[in-house]
Amino acid sequence: MKSCEGIRDRLMDLIEGELTAGEHQRLEAHLAQCPECCREARALRETLARLRSLPEPAVPDGFLDGFSAAVQRRISAETPPRVVLWRRVAAWLSGRSSLRPVPALSAAAVLGLLLVIGLVRTPRAPQPSPVPEVLVVGETLSIAQNLDVLEQFDILEDLDLLEQLPLLQAPENGRPPKMG
Amino acid sequence: MSQSDFEVIRRVLHGETAAFELLVRRYQQTILRLTQRMTRNVEDAEDLAQDAFVQAYRSLASFHGQSSFSTWLYRIAVNLCLNHRRATRREDPMEVNGNVPDAREDSLARLLAAERDRALAAAIEELPPQQRATLTLRVYQGLGHREIAEILDCAEGTAKANYFHAIRTLHRKLDARRSSD
């Protein structure tokens, strides 16, 4: 039957009760006059019933307490995770304390803040100063243009180092100083 | 009132690392069930569930909150299970949840039921990884297609199609087996 393909795509929805009343009626009407689709629906229904009847994996008594303790032991040896600076600032700017997707406005505000820090602190005559190698990631300060990349740099947690960002700006030719 | 996952994560990220235990206790059963279904081996399941929590802890700072924490945790656990399976694909016949009845005490009907379960479990094991993961998340974890798509990083339509094909494939395998018996 010409319309069978479209019907079969919806059979699982029918079986799991995820159709609207109208769609449900339409599919049932089709099944009533199409033996092939009816067979397919029965097969899917039976298989699903068998899958659901498979026994739940047994979790021994007291097992979960031991599990939780084991995870705690393992993570106590890990370096504690820390929220990165720009996300903290973005959360503060957006007036929220919970973790939620940072809206573009907040992200833009963080970038603005970083740039302001850079402009205000730029010395008129930059002194040669050792720049932490980790900050030199590209031709320009493009590190600040990609927040996902920025997030990888724990060094930005340290505001003293953050203030050195202007030193990355090229003195003459727009290229960052080469690290030796 | 219990704190939201996001609130607990915020506390952990601000140095209260012990708060992570709340998340472990909240999701340990769910993740263990998932890893048991995916590996069908108790020891492997426990190791992988532990690994999932440890990995989540390590990566907590990169959790952006675009999905729920549980979806994110599921994604970590499913990926670990799929990688584990690739690395240790078993050749030997699988145990079926450790519930094989004792022939001396149980009726023939129960033995037959156990045999059917074993056949079904073996058929699930042969499914392609994405279909198998989809089936597990849908049938045994009760997740919606949209969340499954997020976990497996695919389109919702793909998740639905994988689910449909998994069940149809299982039916055909079991049918073929019945015919050959």
Residue A43 touches partner B, C-beta closer than 8 Å: yes
Smallest Cα distance from A135 to chain B, Å: 20
Q: Which of A24-33, B9-18, B106-115, B151-160 has the least mean pLDDT?
A: B106-115
SS (H, E, C) chain A: CCCHHHHHCCHHHHHCCCCCHHHHHHHHHHHHHCHHHHHHHHHHHHHHHHHHHCCCCCCCCCHHHHHHHHHHHHHHCCCCCCCCHHHHHHHHHCCCCCCCCCCHHHHHHHHHHHHHHHHHHCCCCCCCCCCCHHHCCCCCCHHHHCHHHHHCCHHHHCHHHHCCHHHHCCCCCCCCCCCC
Q: Which of A98-102, B151-155, B174-178 has the least mean pLDDT?
A: A98-102
At B91 the pLDDT is 47
- Rounded average pLDDT over A118-146: 44
| Chain B residue whose CA is closest to A82 | B13
pLDDT over threshold 80, residue A35: yes
pLDDT over threshold 50, residue A162: no
Residue A93 touches partner B, C-beta closer than 8 Å: no
Residue A81 touches partner B, C-beta closer than 8 Å: yes
In this predicted model, what pLDDT tens digit does every residue of B115-173 receive, in sequence order? Answer: 888 889 889 989 999 999 999 999 999 999 999 999 999 999 999 999 999 999 999 99
pLDDT over threshold 50, residue A145: no
- Rounded average pLDDT over A122-144: 41
What is the predicted ipTM?
A: 0.82
Smallest Cα distance from A75 to chain B, Å: 6
Reported confidence tier of residue A110, pLDDT bands at 50, 70, 90: low
At A161 the pLDDT is 44
pLDDT over threshold 50, residue B96: no
Residue B118 touches partner A, C-beta closer than 8 Å: no
- The listed range with the strongest mean pLDDT (A13-22, A135-144, A164-173) is A13-22
Q: Which residue has the tokens 């007291």?
A: A62
pLDDT over threshold 50, residue A137: no
Reported confidence tier of residue B33, pLDDT bands at 50, 70, 90: very high
Q: Which of A17-31, B19-33, B95-109, B143-157 has the least mean pLDDT?
A: B95-109
Comparing CB atoms, the residue among A54, A67, A80 nearest residue B15 is A80
At A58 the pLDDT is 77
Q: Which of A101-105, B4-8, B57-61, B158-162 has the least mean pLDDT?
A: A101-105
B99 vs A contacts (CB less than 8 Å): 55, 58
Reported confidence tier of residue A81, pLDDT bands at 50, 70, 90: confident
> Which residue ranges form the domains of chain B, and what is each CATH number?
1-95 (1.10.1740.10), 102-181 (1.10.10.10)
The predicted model scores a pTM of 0.68
Reported confidence tier of residue A125, pLDDT bands at 50, 70, 90: very low
- Rounded average pLDDT over A152-164: 44
Residue A100 touches partner B, C-beta closer than 8 Å: yes
Comparing CB atoms, the residue among A47, A52, A99 nearest residue B170 is A47
A69 vs B contacts (CB less than 8 Å): none
Q: Which residues, in sequence order, are CB contacts of B150 under 8 Å at separation 6+?
A: B67, B71, B75
In this predicted model, what pLDDT tens digit does every residue of B42-83 receive, in sequence order? Answer: 889 999 999 999 999 999 998 888 899 999 999 999 999 999
Comparing CB atoms, the residue among A40, A43, A71 nearest residue B53 is A71
- Rounded average pLDDT over A67-94: 78
A11 vs B contacts (CB less than 8 Å): 164
Residue B5 CA: distances (Å) to CA of A67, A88, B20, B59:
20, 18, 10, 15
At B18 the pLDDT is 92
- Asked whether the beta carbons of residue A100 and residue B20 sit closer than 8 angstroms, the reply is no
What is the residue-averaged pLDDT of chain A? 67
At A154 the pLDDT is 44
- Asked whether the beta carbons of residue B65 and residue A100 sit closer than 8 angstroms, the reply is yes
